Amino acid sequence: MRMSNENKGWMAHALYIGESNMELFSEKYWQWISEPWEMTSLSHQCNFYQKYVEFAGEDILRYSNTEALDKTIEYAHDKIMDCFREIDRRFKLTEE
């Protein structure tokens, strides 16, 4: 996994959440951890909110597009799971 700025952001989420807590995150918790920061440009928002705006197709500071939110949650879950696999690979945490 190349450590692009986006991947670094997802890695921070992965380290903060922890793999065992992934199943605890429902839609309302994703909203809570990714509340948009007012007076902050989109490029400086958290990865989750940036991806939500990308899927929603508009720059809004609230969650009103449930389809975009569902896509974003799925995308975030996949990216964070990729980060867990990368952590395992880099630190050789999984015995083969």
Predicted pLDDT of residue 36: 75
Residue 91's identity, in one-letter code, is F
Predicted pLDDT of residue 33: 61
Rounded distance, CA 22 to CA 73, Å?
A: 11
Residue 10's identity, in one-letter code, is W
Domain limits of the chain? 5-91
Predicted pLDDT of residue 13: 74
Q: Cβ(22)–Cβ(77) under 8 Å?
A: yes
Predicted pLDDT of residue 5: 84
Residues of the chain where predicted confidence (pLDDT) is lower than 50 = none
- Reported pTM: 0.70
Q: At a CB cut-off of 8 Å and minimum separation 6, what does 85 contact? A: none
For residue 75 the two structure tokens come to 């995308």
Q: Cβ(10)–Cβ(80) under 8 Å?
A: yes
Rounded distance, CA 95 to CA 88, Å?
A: 9
Neighbour count for residue 38 (Cβ, 10 Å): 6
